[in-house]
Amino acid sequence: MLKSKWALLLIACLVLTNASAASAAMTLKRVGISPFYKPPLKSEADLRTLVKTRGPELKTGFAKAGNPELYPAFMEQFPTVPIEATTVKPGETMKWMLFKKKGKGPVRVAKDVTWGGKAPLNVYRFYITKDGKKYEFVVPGKCGNVALKGVEMLPPPAKTVPPPPPPPAQKSMTAAPKKGGFIADVGYARQFDPGNYLFARVGYEYPLADKVYILGMIGGYGHVEGEDGESAFIADAILEYRWTRFFVGLGGGYWSGDGGKMDVIADLGYRLSLDENSLLGKTSLFLEARTPSDKIDSIRDDGQVGLGLRFTF
């Protein structure tokens, strides 16, 4: 009876000793005795086959090792991670290693494993990342024992600095093509035969093409001095070409005085400023000549020359 009690006590001590050894640090001097996978791994393709075919056992092993949350990232990333052949030098450690006792039975975990062999251990190495950490895994080719060698923090992602805003666009001093708009003319005209007029007219300008405009205007000439001529209502149409500040025009108009007649009109002008937002930029100085269309050959008697200001709106 006494011998039976001593036997039970010895068995209990052995069980406790083995249980303690399973979780305590260990030194590994040989591989291939308790392989996780058989046959030995001879290539990267063999390692990928191991992971592909032993998913459930790996999941169990990760849970026993205390890293169940790492398993989904491992299985998701492993098919495309780079794998390199390297060595673990004597004295280097691994946080844990999966194995099967004599290659059979359930998955087991050895923690705080130190490689104690005389020569470097040939392994395959790859990395898995999760939650800002990089996990280094090594797998000895002779046994296929998947091992977590180390963990390190990844540097925080660099902050993206937005590019500086583009400099404000410089206002061009070249006049942009102008849209249609209202115009108004005022000025003084001198008839050669002789007569003096003050005139005013309003109208609208419309672009036909780049730099080419047509102007339509109505107004009146008031006779203020001279032996010849009389006040008249006018309706003019002028085709005008513009470049930079200068413009020239040619057209025709109706003159109601002297029984009514049609005039030929020519003008030459100059815009006082290129800044269209200023008062001067909206003001032009022009010289205009007009004569009855049936008396062009006697322009010195019946023609007139006017000087005026044109305002655009």
Give the whole-angstrom CA distance, residue 35 versus residue 100. Answer: 6
Cβ neighbours of residue 96 closer than 8 Å, sequence gap 6 or more? 65, 66, 109, 110, 111, 112, 113, 147, 148
Q: Give just the sign of the alpha carbon dihedral 86, 91, 96, 100.
A: positive
* First-to-final CA distance of the chain: 124
pLDDT-above-90 percentage for the chain? 63
pLDDT digits (tens, 9 = 90+) for 214-230: 999 999 998 898 777 78
pLDDT digits (tens, 9 = 90+) for 268-277: 999 998 887 8
Cβ neighbours of residue 212 closer than 8 Å, sequence gap 6 or more? 239, 240, 241, 242
Residue 11: pLDDT over 70: no
Residue 10: pLDDT over 50: no
- What pLDDT is recorded for position 24? 60
Supply 170's token pair: 């410089």
* Delimiting residues of CATH 2.40.160.20 domain(s) in the chain: 181-312
pLDDT digits (tens, 9 = 90+) for 275-309: 878 888 789 999 999 988 887 776 666 788 999 99
- The class of domain 181-312 in CATH terms is mainly beta
Residue 159: pLDDT over 70: yes
Give 73 or 258, the one with higher predicted confidence.
73
Our measurement of the distance from residue 254's CA atom to the centroid of its chain's CA atoms, rounded to an integer in Å, reads: 60
Q: Which residue, 86, 93, 107, 88, is CA-closest to 35?
A: 107
pLDDT digits (tens, 9 = 90+) for 172-222: 555 455 578 899 999 999 887 788 899 999 999 999 988 899 999 999 998
Give the whole-angstrom CA distance, residue 222 versus residue 230. Answer: 7
* pTM, two decimal places: 0.47
- What pLDDT is recorded for position 171? 56
- What pLDDT is recorded for position 225? 85
Residue 253: pLDDT over 70: yes
